[in-house]
A and B are shown apart, each in its own frame.
Chain A
Amino acid sequence: MNMLSKKDFKKITDYIWEIPKSHRADMRVPARFYISEKMIEKILEDKTVEQAVNVAALPGIVDYSLVMPDAHEGYGQCIGGVFATRLSDGVISPGAVGYDINCLTKDTKILCGLGYYRKIIDFQNQWKNEKLQIADLNSSKEIINTYISRFLKIKPKSNCIFKIVTRSGNEIFATKDHPFYTPTDMKRLEELSVGEQLSVYPFKGVPYQKPSRKIIISEEDIKKSLLKLGRRPGEVRFDQNIRVLKKRNLLPLTYDHSKLPYLLKIMGFMFGDGSMNFIGKKRDGILHFVGKKEDLETIRLDLQKIGYPTSRVYSREKRKVYKGKVKYYKNYFFYVNASSLLILLFTLGIPKGKKVFQKYRVPRWIFKAPLWQKRLFIGAFFGAEFRIPHKRNTRKSMFNCPVSQMSKAEELISNGKLFLKDISKLVKEFGVKTIYINQRKKHISVEGKISWGLDLVFSSKIKSLINLWSKIGFEYNKKRHFIACAASQYLQYKEKILEEKNHAIKITIPRLLNLGLSYKKISAQLAGNPLTRRFIEDICWKLKKGIKNIIPHVPNNFVSFGDYLKKATSGLGNSGLVWDEIVEIKKIPYKEWVYDFTVDNKNHNFIANNFIVSNCGVRLLKSNLEKEEIKPYLKNLADQIYRDVPSGLGKGRKEKLSNGEIEEVLNKGAKWAVAKGFGKKEDLEALEENGCHNAAEARFVSSLARKRGQDQVGTLGSGNHFMEIQFVDEIFDKKTAEAFGLFNNQIVVLIHTGSRGLGHQVATDYIRAMMPVMQKYKIVVPDRELACTPFNSDEGQRYFSAMAASANFAWANRQMITFWVRQSFERILAGKLNYDLEIVYDVAHNIVKIEEYNGKKLIVHRKGATRAFGPGRLEIPKKYREVGQPVLIPGSMGTASYVLTGTKQAEDETFGSTCHGSGRVMSRKKAKRTFWGSTLRAQLERQGILVRCESDAGLAEEAPLAYKSVEEVVEVVHQAGISKKVARLKPKVVIKGE
């Protein structure tokens, strides 16, 4: 790190200074400091700036690494720092969807962007240019393509892996920490159990095969085509086309050309719903594509990949008379104006002009292509010319024979049949059978030309259908693809049942019959899903009778495809993903390598572990009382609170929480406390998140952390944590103060504390857990305390849940302290004064949350910073929504504190964040050397402030002069506009742990 100086700061405004991204090579965003010019020197005294720069280097960070005016050096990130990272989605592995393909065995098939799969081990040396299919589980619920950003292999720690088998026969081998997408959330393999659902992607594709270097068409072939089309060398329309094709790098076109896959798809579609011809005087080449709007958009993208811009998608209303009724429907289309592309496709074998009247076959060269390239061609052809998987109305578990249709002029019928035979030959390679070609219905055009409809009819045998829909599938047709995915999964499920029945008919039952067992005994022995007693006895009877060729059926009550479709795809959109049930989980010894990679999607989200150490926060209670009214009772009140609210070190509550109770505290936060009688329902409305972080999961908080928390809930703790009875000293914004229920000289109570030992233990546990796995995620951080993992990694998610649980502990803690404070007030003031203590607000200072800005969800990290939402945000209580969120800024002990309000500007600039306090400027040690606790106490008491704190040393450490002036800090955020001053509070009683 270079020595930083004031010169490194770029002035943005009077109150915003920036260290630009260029300052250090690894910075991904600039670091922005909300400080005044004169604060720069101070901030350079410790490592605050360096730490903010380190944070700017974290992967996934957006906009800025932000620093508030009260910042000082921390560990890893500075205290007073704010940043946000992108939220992610995930990848898909064959048979199972996970957020990360997290340690799979070497033969695991990985589905790639172009519809082929490769074994994960084959990615080892060449993953850089490979695109994978992944599921966007967050928003669009679609399958999308993305690049791989890292690949690695490791040895499973436990020397074993697990095999999961699902109801429809999918199998996957993975390590125990591999995450799976289930209806409730992501779960690790070890948390899954038989009977649970997990999502699978039934589309399987075909194996990858490296295409050859062989030339499909060369410049010479194009020249031949041009001659055939009546163009002569030397003419502009001759030379130019060749020049354009060469410029777009399309000549010569080989099987391993990177653009060939897209050309194959376009060709498949052209044989179906596309057409091309030369038009107008100049004989310009034009290509026309008709289809559904969303599918046309995909085709346009592929054409752009080949190098041709297209028109936008247009729509046209069309009138159609069907069975005597007039119907209107929208027709979508787009076109490409490009002679060179037409000539290229023509040379590749696409007919020009009306296809009905053209003679054509499936181009011969396609038969020589690898299977996956053939798939792209037929898949796109089927996307245009195929019936959607269609169930039979009479037998609801069966499907009609799929049909591929074409029309052909009467004189070309035999050529049409040859084309369909070509298709038939191609699909045979995928294990798909066709049965015959049907000639139907004559059509006579206005000009009197006769054409016939030709149907290529496919077998409706289960195996053939599964292959058709899961190996070939549909390109450029989302709807068909979606139905095909579900249908193939449905059939796989059905097939498994039939196979089991067949096995019983052919093998098990005959064997038992041969042993001479009675029907009853056999049925008793074999009965079980899907074999019923009745079925078994029936088979016994039939076999005894000598009936051969017994064909098994699925039971009458077998789920219909319609019902299955609804259930299996619920919540998964039209992605093609379906739910499948786990039927077996088996542990298998395994000592080989396992493999792992991450995709280069929005997936680079990191959560930095060190951020949350104490989950501290601050709460303000308001009373009905004025300063003068309470004066006679103040001393008694101070003593009472000091007794009632355990603040001493090591003086935990007498009663410990049970294991069950602590679980509740962690999951429910302040809600638990209120349910237990430590407050009223209305209290919850005035808390950030209503006092319960919804990501909390107690099970991720270790037993050690729980033990530390058991006797600490409802305690203040030590260090900079304290509480004060204060009065409203000045009001800056009358309207907002009124909305907050604040008035001059009003008595208020400020409580500043966190999650105590439990929060520290959670942080310690997870830093320990994250450090060794950072290597796995290829993360290098400039400081060990910045240990982090991807947000959506297993470790990241577990930490997020545990951190949220400790935030809940903190909210419950402040709720219980509120209860003890109310009790103290009651004891001293009952019958004398009507005090009525209500919560103004409660806001966290250390927290990680998912929040939305400009429609984008981000992971916002606040470490020693306060949320400061402006007016209108739904997250803030209704009663404050017009003026903005109350922001509570405790000053250092004995000095002023502030109430501010959040602003829209904070949402725009600082992820809705502002400062949290005054910020230390002197070490505790130096403070102890510099100030005498007893002198300090006397000084405070001279100012009319009562101090309740046993230890003078503890008092000295927190001496006001050891901190920045809170006035200065608040002034900066006020001037910078990220929050606005509402009221100043001054202490009457200070209560502190040691």
Chain B
Amino acid sequence: MKKYEFLEHMADVKMRVFGQDPEDLFKNAVEGMAKIQKESKVKNQKLEIRKPIKIKSMDTETLLVDFLSAILTQSDIENAVFPKAEIKKLSENAIEAEILGSKVDKFDEDIKAVTYHGIEVKKREEKTFEATVLFDV
């Protein structure tokens, strides 16, 4: 199954993510965002930086945006991309995870923010999950 795809959007990058379950969906979203930031790092197995992230939000949609936002913040502070997430707890509106990443000299794309614009998380008929996220670049 496709993990994610990128859609056309005027000044931004729009990503559609898929997953078998919510956990899978969140993991794929993390990878997708890393791909926008630095494509070559996604397959990198040497992920030397680990950061814990714990977030509570209003609902699953805002949780996904807030989670990606928190990763982006770390990415900007550390000059690193984080393509992998180890999820410890995930509920409807809370997540506890550890993100793994590595330093970069420069990003392919400098994501300014993860936006709530048109955010959507839905369950598809074949019991898979799908979400759409818009990045401000």
Which A residues lie at the B interface, using CB under 8 A?
46, 72-76, 79, 613-614, 648-652, 704, 707-708, 717-719, 757, 760-761, 763-764, 767-768, 771-772, 783-785, 787, 920, 922-926, 950, 953, 993-994
Contacts and interface: CB of A to CB of B under 8 A. Distances in A.
B110 A993 contact: yes
Contacts of A46: 10
Given A614-B112, A717-B110, A72 B117 contact: no
A704 B73 contact: yes
Interface string B6-43: 10111111000000000000000000000000000000
B62 A764 contact: no
Contacts of A717: 110
Contact of A73 (B11, B66, B110, B119): B11
Interface string B48-79: 00000000011000100010010001001101
Contacts of A926: 8
A946 to B, nearest CB: 21
Given A72-B11, A613-B136, A925-B6, A764 B73 contact: yes
B106 A771 contact: no
B134 A650 contact: no
A785 B77 contact: no
Contact of B106 (A76, A650, A772): A650
Contact of A650 (B62, B105, B113): B105
Contact of B62 (A75, A649, A771): A771
A923 B106 contact: no
Given A613-B112, A772-B58, A924-B137, A708 B11 contact: no
Nearest to A705: B73
A779 to B, nearest CB: 14
Interface in B99-119: 104-110, 112-117, 119
Contacts of A787: 116
Interface residues of B, number: 33
A158 to B, nearest CB: 15
Contacts of A785: 115-117
A785 B136 CA distance: 12
B112 A75 contact: no
B117 A994 contact: no
A953 B115 CA distance: 23
A784 B116 contact: yes
A760 B112 contact: yes
A704 B77 contact: yes
Of A717, A718, A772, A920, the most chain B CB neighbours within 10 A belong to A718
B117 A75 contact: yes
B11 A764 contact: no
A941 to B, nearest CB: 23
Nearest to B74: A704
A950 B11 CA distance: 21
Contacts of B116: 75, 767, 771, 784-785, 787
A942 B73 CA distance: 40
Interface of B: 6, 8-13, 57-58, 62, 66, 69, 73, 76-77, 79, 104-110, 112-117, 119, 134, 136-137
A879 B110 CA distance: 39
Nearest to A993: B110
7 contacts: A650-B106, A761-B73, A768-B62, A771-B58, A787-B116, A922-B10, A925-B9
Nearest to A712: B76
A650 B79 contact: yes
A650 B57 CA distance: 29
A953 B108 contact: yes
B66 A768 contact: yes
Contacts of B12: 75, 923-924
B76 A994 contact: no
Contacts of B104: 650
A613 B113 CA distance: 8
A76 B112 contact: no
A76 B117 contact: yes
Contact of A708 (B62, B77, B114): B77
A920 B10 contact: yes
A72 B9 CA distance: 11
A145 B119 CA distance: 43
A613 B137 CA distance: 11
Of B108, B112, B115, B119, the most chain A CB neighbours within 10 A belong to B112
A717 B76 CA distance: 12
Given A708-B77, A994-B110, A75 B10 contact: no
Given A613-B112, A708-B77, A785-B117, A924 B13 contact: yes
B110 A764 contact: no
B122 to A, nearest CB: 16
A648 B137 contact: no
A926 B109 CA distance: 15
A785 B105 CA distance: 32
Contact of B10 (A707, A923, A993): A923
Contact of A764 (B106, B113, B117): B113
A717 B2 CA distance: 33
B35 to A, nearest CB: 14
Contacts of A76: 117
A814 to B, nearest CB: 18
Nearest to B57: A768
Contacts of A648: 106
Contacts of B69: 764, 768
Contacts of B10: 46, 72-73, 920, 922-923
Nearest to B81: A650
Of A649, A772, A787, the most chain B CB neighbours within 10 A belong to A649
A466 B107 CA distance: 71
B106 to A, nearest CB: 4
A923 B66 contact: no
Contacts of B73: 704, 707-708, 761, 764
B37 to A, nearest CB: 9
Contacts of A953: 108
A703 B114 CA distance: 19
Contacts of B136: 75, 613, 760
Contacts of B6: 925
B60 to A, nearest CB: 13
Given A708-B77, A764-B69, A783-B117, A924 B112 contact: no
A784 B76 CA distance: 24
Given A75-B115, A75-B134, A785-B115, A994 B106 contact: yes
Contacts of B79: 650, 652
A994 B115 CA distance: 22
A614 B114 CA distance: 13
B30 to A, nearest CB: 17
A771 B108 CA distance: 31
Contacts of B110: 649, 717-719, 993-994
Given A75-B116, A649-B106, A708-B73, 9 more contacts: A613-B112, A649-B107, A649-B110, A717-B110, A718-B107, A787-B116, A920-B10, A922-B10, A926-B8
Contacts of A920: 10-11
Contacts of A708: 73, 76-77
A763 B106 contact: no
A763 B57 CA distance: 16
A442 to B, nearest CB: 79
A925 B117 contact: no
A650 B109 CA distance: 11
Contacts of B109: 994
B119 A784 contact: yes
A926 B8 CA distance: 8
Contacts of A72: 10-11
Given A923-B8, A925-B8, A784 B106 contact: no
Given A73-B11, A771-B58, A719 B106 contact: no
A994 B106 CA distance: 9
Given A783-B117, A994-B106, A79 B11 contact: yes
Nearest to B104: A650
Give the 5 A-B residue pairs with the shortest CB-CB distance, closest first: A75-B117, A784-B116, A718-B110, A649-B106, A757-B76
Of A73, A783, A787, A925, the most chain B CB neighbours within 10 A belong to A925
